[in-house]
Every structure is written in C-alpha cells, then in structure tokens.
C-alpha cells in the first residue's frame, strides 16, 4: 500500500531544521560542515549531522569528501531532486513574505534570519 505523498514529504520536511539545512546547503554546502554549522547559530552539530544524513538518504543532498585539501573536508550539494525542492521552498518563503507585514526581504534566497533560531 502506498503512503500519501503529502504525509511522506511532511514527514521529512516537518522535522525541525530540515528546511533551513536545505537552504544552507544551497548557499554554503560547498564550504563544508563547519561553515554551515557556524552560520546556523542554534543547531547542535549532532542534529545538523543527522539532518544531512537524512537528506542524503532521501536523495536530496549529496556528500563529497574533498581529498585534495588537508585536512580532508566534506562538502555538500543539492541533487537535482534537492534543487527542485529548493525552488519550492523559495516559493513558500516568497508567499510567507507577501502575506506577513514585517517580513520584507525574507523572500530572497540569501535571507539568513531563519538561521538565527
């Protein structure tokens, strides 16, 4: 029996920090785990690692080890599936900003206000 697609996606995206991690991968994933972690002020390293693994397992993010640098560094990118989801998240952000006074500027992909939570 197939599960409802809405419940499937809500199960993944409804977890705390997941949407913010997807945005952060798009913006700074290539810089590695520590760069993303430093921008996301309130997320624990353990939770960030868990979300990255879940997104990788779901085929949304891809992890690469940068072997030509010492020490070794890990970078993250969005897969095509992840980029498509990123565009949907951008539309959700724009919708929210349009309908909520005081959220001007949050429609931009570069907005990092949510990283402070």
In this predicted model, what pLDDT tens digit does every residue of 10-29 receive, in sequence order?
999 999 999 999 999 998 89
Structural domains of the chain sorted by starting position, each given as residue range(s) with its CATH number in brackets: 5-116 (1.10.10.10)
For the chain, the C-alpha Rg in angstroms (whole number) is 15
Cα–Cα distance measured from residue 117 to residue 15, given in angstroms and rounded to the nearest whole number: 14
In this predicted model, what pLDDT tens digit does every residue of 26-55 receive, in sequence order?
988 999 999 999 888 889 999 999 999 999
Question: Is pLDDT at 115 greater than 70 in this prediction?
Answer: no
Please give the model's pTM, rounded to 2 decimal places: 0.83
């Amino acid at each position: 029996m197939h599960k409802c697609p809405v419940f499937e996606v809500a199960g993944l995206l409804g977890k705390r920090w997941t949407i913010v991690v997807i945005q952060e991968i798009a913006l700074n994933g290539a810089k590695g785990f520590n760069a993303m972690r430093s921008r996301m002020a309130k997320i624990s390293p353990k939770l960030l690692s868990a979300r990255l693994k879940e997104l990788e397992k779901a085929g949304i993010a891809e992890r690469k080890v940068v072997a030509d640098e010492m020490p070794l560094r890990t970078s993250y990118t969005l897969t095509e599936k992840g980029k498509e989801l990123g565009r949907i998240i951008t539309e959700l952000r724009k919708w929210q900003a349009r309908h909520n006074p005081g959220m001007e500027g949050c429609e931009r992909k570069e907005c990092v206000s949510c990283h402070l939570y």
